[in-house]
Chain A
Amino acid sequence: MTSSDIAARRRWMGVLAKARPPEIDEAWSALGAPSGYVHLRRPETGLAMVRGRMGGDGAAFNVGEMTVTRCSVRLADGAVGHAYVAGRDASHAERAAVIDALLQDEERRASIEALVIAPLERAQAERRDMASRKAAATRVDFFTMIRGET
C-alpha cells in the first residue's frame, strides 16, 4: 500500500465515520444492501481518548474520552474492511466497514465513490460550512484599549 493509497483510504474512512446513521442507511440501500461478508470483529462499543495540542505545536494533552464503535468484516473475495465511528450505532459501524471493504476493489471504487462517498462528503462540507457561518455571525471581537500610561 503506497502513501497515496493510505491517504485515499483515510479520506473515505473519515467520510464514512462522520456520516450520520440515516445517511449510511441511504447509502446502504443505494448499494443494494451488500451481503456475503463475515465479521472478523463484531461491532463493539468502547471509549477512545481524544488528544489535542494547543496551537498545533504545544504539548499533547487529553481532551476527553469519546464513545466509539468499531467493526471489521471480510468479503467473499478476501477484502477486509474496518470502521471506527463515533457513537454507539452498531449498524453504522458494520455498514461503514463493509463499504470500506468494497472500496478496496479498484474496479468498483469509482462507482461507489460517486454513489456514496461524494454525496456524503458534500453533505458534511455543507454542515460544516453552515456551522461556521452561524459561529461567524455571532462572533464578538474584543479590543483592549491601550491605557494612557505611555
Chain B
Amino acid sequence: MTTLSHTGPAGGVPPTGPLPGFGDPVQDAQGVFRAVLDAMARPGTIHDLALGIEAPAPLSAGSAAVLMALADFETPVWLDGAAESAEAAAHLRFHCGCPLASEPAEAVFALVAGPALMPPLSAFAVGTEEYPDRSCTVIVQVASLAAGAGWVLTGPGIRDRASLRVGGLPPAFAGWVRDNHAGFPLGVDLVFTCGGRIAALPRSTRIGE
C-alpha cells in the first residue's frame, strides 16, 4: 500500500479547482477493484483502500475511488440529493467520463451520500430474468462501519456467519435488503463506504438480527 502524492514537479496542491484522480491510475484502480472484489466475495469483511486521494464534498474518498475504478462512459451514475453537487458531478465526469442518470432506475451505479433520505432499494434497476447482471450497484456512504453486533450475515462467501454493523441507515433498510435477497437472482448489490473503508453486501447474502 502506498500513500500517494499529487504534487507536480514543484509546489503543493492548489486550494481551489478540480481535484486530481488516482496518482497511479493503473495500479490504484486495480487495487480498488481487487478490494471491491474481495469485499463482494466475503460479505461483511471491511477493506481499507489506503489511498491518499481527495474527493470533492460530499463524496468520500472511498466512494470516489470505487466510482473511479468501476464507472466509465457506458455506466450511467445516479447521485442522490445529498451527493449532487456541481463539484462532485464535474469530478465524476472528468475522471470517469460517465453520464449522470436523472432517475435511480436508469443507473448502473448509484451513489447515496445521505442514506437517511435514500429511496428504497426497489427504486433501482434489479436486472431482468434473462440478464440479472443488468442491475444497479448502490454505493452508500455511511456514518460508521464496524464488524460485530449488528446484522448477522449468512450465505455464499461466508463460513458459518459474519456480522456487520453499519451506522446511519434508515430503519427500513434491513427489510429492503431482505426483500432484495428474496428476489434473487434479481436484485441490487450494495457497497458501503465510510471514509476510505469499504464493505459489501451482494444480493446473495441473507441478513438477520
Q: A residues bordering B, Cβ < 8 Å?
A: 35-42, 44, 72-80
Task: Give the residues in chain A near B11, CB-CB below 8 Å.
Answer: 35-38, 76
> Is there contact, CB below 8 Å, between A35 and B21?
no
> With A35-B8, A38-B6 given, is the CB distance from A74 to B14 under 8 Å?
yes
Q: How far is the CB of A90 from chain B (nearest CB, A)?
A: 13
> Is there contact, CB below 8 Å, between B8 and A40?
no
Is B13 part of the contact surface with A, judged by Cβ < 8 Å? yes
Q: How far is the CB of A105 from chain B (nearest CB, A)?
A: 14
Q: Is the interface of A mostly helix, strand, loop or mixed?
A: strand
A–B complex contacts, Cβ < 8 Å, 5 sampled:
A35-B8, A38-B14, A40-B21, A41-B20, A78-B16
> Is there contact, CB below 8 Å, between A35 and B18?
no
Is B25 part of the contact surface with A, judged by Cβ < 8 Å? yes
Option from B6, B7, B14, B20 in Cβ contact (under 8 Å) with A77: B14
Identify which of A38, A41, A76, A77 gathers the most chain B CB atoms within 10 Å of its CB.
Answer: A38
Beyond A38-B8, A40-B21, A41-B95, list 7 extra A-B contacts (CB 8 Å): A38-B14, A38-B20, A39-B6, A41-B20, A41-B25, A74-B14, A79-B17
Q: How far is the CB of B59 from chain A (nearest CB, A)?
A: 16
Q: How far is the CA of A42 from the CA of B196 in the complex (A)?
A: 22
> With A35-B9, A36-B8, A39-B8 given, is the CB distance from A74 to B17 under 8 Å?
yes
> With A74-B18, A80-B17 given, is the CB distance from A42 to B25 under 8 Å?
yes
Is B10 part of the contact surface with A, judged by Cβ < 8 Å? yes
Interface residues of B in 38-67 (CB under 8 A from A): none
Is B94 part of the contact surface with A, judged by Cβ < 8 Å? yes
> Is there contact, CB below 8 Å, between B10 and A36?
yes
Q: How far is the CB of A68 from chain B (nearest CB, A)?
A: 15
Task: Give the residues in chain A near B95, CB-CB below 8 Å.
Answer: 41
> Is there contact, CB below 8 Å, between A38 and B7?
yes
Chain B 8-36 against A: per-residue CB contact (8 Å), 1 yes, 0 no? 11110110111111011100000000000
Task: Give the residues in chain B near A37, CB-CB below 8 Å.
Answer: 8-9, 11
* Residue on B nearest A79 in the bound complex, by CB: B17
* Residue on A nearest B94 in the bound complex, by CB: A40
For the complex of A and B, the 4 pairs showing the least CB-CB separation, nearest first, are: A36-B11, A35-B10, A78-B17, A37-B8
